[in-house]
Amino acid sequence: MHYNQHPRFPQNFMWGASSAAWQVEGAVAEDGRTPAIIDLNSKTKAPFADNSIAADHYHHVKEDVALMAKCGFSSYRFSLSWPRIIPASNGEVNQAGISFYNNLIDELKAHNIEPIVTLYHYDMPLWVEEELGGWKSRATIAAFEHYARTCFEAFGDRVKYWLSINEQNMQIAYGDWLGVSKGCNDWFRDQWRVNHIINLCHATAVNLCHELVEGGKIGPVPGMVPIYPASSHPMDQIAAMNAEEFTEKIWNDTYVFGRYSNFLQAYWRNNNIDPGIEPGDEELMASAHIDFIAVNCYRSNTAKWAPASAKPQAYQLNKTGEKGKLVFPVVPGAYQLVRNPHVEYTDWDWEIDPVSLRYVLRYLWDHYQLPLMVTENGFGAHEHKDENGEIHDQARINYLRENIFQLGLAIEDGCEVISYNPWSFTDLLSTGNGIEKRYGLVYIDVTDDELNQAQLSGVVPPCTRIEKDSFTWYSKLITSNGTEWGGDISHGC
């Protein structure tokens, strides 16, 4: 193929960054917000801080949006907090929660930043779990419908890009890590009933968006980790296919085609699994037509064949940021994941593989022919201010430069990509490593110890915002619409 020296981005391409309510807002007990399941889950990650304060975005909205505008953003992907909007089972709408998001959306629009809004990013209200049964109960579908309707009616006049469920595949594949499996006696089988209820909530949201939001577009947000075969051995290729099926493709096929694939249905039959499909469910799923696919992609994995006689091993993620702590999974008769000698690794043992983003976009476009947007892609690292109070995050600049270059190549390959929103705008609470694992373009000047002390004292720290070197670099790239790279590119070699 022939490419320009640097790929060209469409003139209307949207540049921004991402966050999620539970990881950035803080103020978990203010203005009527009630607890979420993920709040409780975050308290189990000691010695890291929980999400009570996080980046305190709740009290820094104007400052944060002003920084986005300074950087040159034309989009911002964030999520709404279900328990901030519907705090109790009586279904009453919390007007303080509506006002908070109205103010955020209005501030974004005033700075010509397009809001891209996620309905659900892990923060199920505690009342839904305790009173309805959470994702294990079909009663949750009606509660989610009420929540989604409320959001579309409140914000749909200004928000035209909507995301339904963040990383449904990860919630099922890593249910123990995210707490989704809590209360299930047989997760091997129960996960598919939980998954089916989430699919019905997704389908309900898609149809409601098209009904209530004039010009509204909506799509899912799969977490995409492409799987390479470890060798040219034919069974390693089958292993890679199996790994992609069980971590990604099952969900993407369902979103796009509105039905469960032959592969999945055969798997259920072979393992005596009842996914809980009731009359009318398949019709609902088939009626929900998504407009695009959002993509969260940080890294790749590598798979080799695992014979049926292999010893099973659960995936054990690195929870400390000390290299070498991750334990890869082994699924006998299907696949095992292994280290890739051709890529570098972060301190959390995540592959640094910019080509994975190009692969994912090509893969999704080839399979589904739907517009794509990148909603997460980023580099987590230990970071501290230097003696001048500055943060020099050259490793993040290198990561973003290489990934954005591969994104540009995917566009030149023919993929229709409309937006790039890396994770994250500010430092925020990591899913398992507090604020110590930093992803932001903007440094939040607080530590996990300080957040923990603030919990005890009741005094919220200033959470001062400091622009990192990556903020300045990204701003120049945005302003040039992807022509000012500020350094050499390895071209994936």
Question: What is the predicted pLDDT for the residue at 42?
Answer: 85
Three-state secondary structure of the chain? CCCCCCCCCCCCCEECCECCHHHHCCCCCCCCCCCEHHHHHHCCCCCCCCCCCCCCHHHCHHHHHHHHHHHCCCEEEEECCHHHHCCCCCCCCCHHHHHHHHHHHHHHHHCCCEEEEEEECCCCEHHHHHHHCHHHCCHHHHHHHHHHHHHHHHHCCCCCEEEEEECHHHHHHCHHHHCCCCCCCCHHHHHHHHHHHHHHHHHHHHHHHHHHCCCCEEEEECECCCEEECCCCHHHHHHHHHHHHHHHHHHHHHHHHCCCCHHHHHHHHHCCCCCCCCCCHHHHHHHCCCCCEEEECCCCEEEECCCCCCCCECCECCCCCCCCCCECCEECCCEEEECCCCCEECCCCCEECCHHHHHHHHHHHHHHCCCEEEEECCCCECCCCCCCCCCCCHHHHHHHHHHHHHHHHHHHCCCCEEEECCECCECCCECCCECCCECCCEEECCCHHHHHHHHHHCCCCCCCEEECHHHHHHHHHHHCCCCCCCCCCCCCC
| The pLDDT of residue 3 is above 60 | no
Question: Which tens digit of pLDDT belongs to each residue from 425-460?
Answer: 999 999 888 999 999 999 999 999 999 999 889 899
Q: Which residue ranges form the domains of the chain, and what is each CATH number?
A: 14-224+243-294+351-479 (3.20.20.80)
Q: Is 402 a catalytic residue?
A: no
Percent of the chain scoring above 90 in pLDDT: 86
| The pLDDT of residue 487 is above 90 | no
Give 173's pLDDT tier (boundaries 50, 70, 90).
confident
Question: What is the predicted pLDDT for the residue at 455?
Answer: 87
Question: Which tens digit of pLDDT belongs to each residue from 331-389?
Answer: 999 999 999 999 999 888 999 999 999 999 999 999 999 999 999 999 999 999 999 99
If one compares 116 and 485, the residue with the highest pLDDT of the two is 116
| The pLDDT of residue 492 is above 80 | no
| The pLDDT of residue 64 is above 80 | yes
| The pLDDT of residue 31 is above 90 | yes
Catalytic residue among 376, 383, 402, 436: 376
Average pLDDT over residues 32-37: 96
Catalytic residue among 167, 245, 351, 402: 167
Question: What is the predicted pLDDT for the residue at 486?
Answer: 76
Mean per-residue pLDDT of the chain? 94
Question: What is the predicted pLDDT for the residue at 493?
Answer: 41
For the ranges 48-57, 252-261, 483-492, the lowest mean pLDDT is seen at 483-492
Q: Is 436 a catalytic residue?
A: no
Question: Which tens digit of pLDDT belongs to each residue from 187-206?
Answer: 999 999 999 999 999 999 99
